[in-house]
Amino acid sequence: NPKKSAIRVLVTYPHPVVRMPIVCSQCKVPVCADACPVGALKRSDGVVRLSTDDCISCMKCAEACPFGAVYAHGDVDYPIKCDLCGGEPECARICPKRAIRFVPEQALGESKRLNNILSYAHMKEIEYVEMGQKKIIHYAEIGKEEMGS
């Protein structure tokens, strides 16, 4: 069921039409995990994972995520978030246009390289409403020329 996907696409209308993927950033200091009163979210091996056995469905993690990447779905009793499918993300494997790529953190190179890329980025933000709450997504608009493609 695509509506239960850990990657969602926010579409804004009317003009310009923007399709913005919302996906977990696997934060080094995950505020979603800090917000969880029972410790059901933990970061290990660079991935923030949710233990559905420990989760009490309070959705405090979804409220805390600044990117809107952790969210509630009415068909399941726990929040949905990307856990990189255990290191082999299915979305990257099956994407027919190769628009989604999984690159292990260590393969990205030095933080200096990332800082250089982001220095060319123009920060954007999109406001949207989810479950009655206004949220804002901040993202870097990076063109192909900045990525060296």
pTM: 0.65
Pairing type for strands 18-22 and 41-44 reads unpaired
**Looking at the domain assignment, is residue 77 inside a domain?**
yes
pLDDT 10s digit of each residue in the chain, 149 long?
A: 566 788 888 887 777 777 788 889 899 999 999 999 999 999 998 899 999 999 999 999 999 999 899 998 888 889 999 998 888 888 888 888 877 877 766 666 655 566 666 655 566 677 777 777 777 766 666 555 544 44
Question: How far, in Å, CA of 149 to CA of 2, rounded?
Answer: 30
Amino acid 98: pLDDT = 79
Question: How far, in Å, CA of 132 to CA of 72, rounded?
Answer: 12
**Looking at the domain assignment, is residue 130 inside a domain?**
no
Confirm if 50 and 83 have CB atoms less than 8 A apart: yes
Confirm if 125 and 67 have CB atoms less than 8 A apart: no
- The CATH number covering residue 50 comes to 3.30.70.20
Please list, residue by residue across 12-25, b when 16 or more beta carbons sit within 10 angstroms of its beta carbon and e when fewer do: eeeeeeeeeebbbe
Domain count, the chain: 1
**Looking at the domain assignment, is residue 15 inside a domain?**
yes
Amino acid 149: pLDDT = 46
**Looking at the domain assignment, is residue 55 inside a domain?**
yes
**Looking at the domain assignment, is residue 124 inside a domain?**
no
Confirm if 27 and 1 have CB atoms less than 8 A apart: no
**Looking at the domain assignment, is residue 118 inside a domain?**
no
**Looking at the domain assignment, is residue 100 inside a domain?**
yes
Structural domain including 8 reads 2-108
**Looking at the domain assignment, is residue 138 inside a domain?**
no
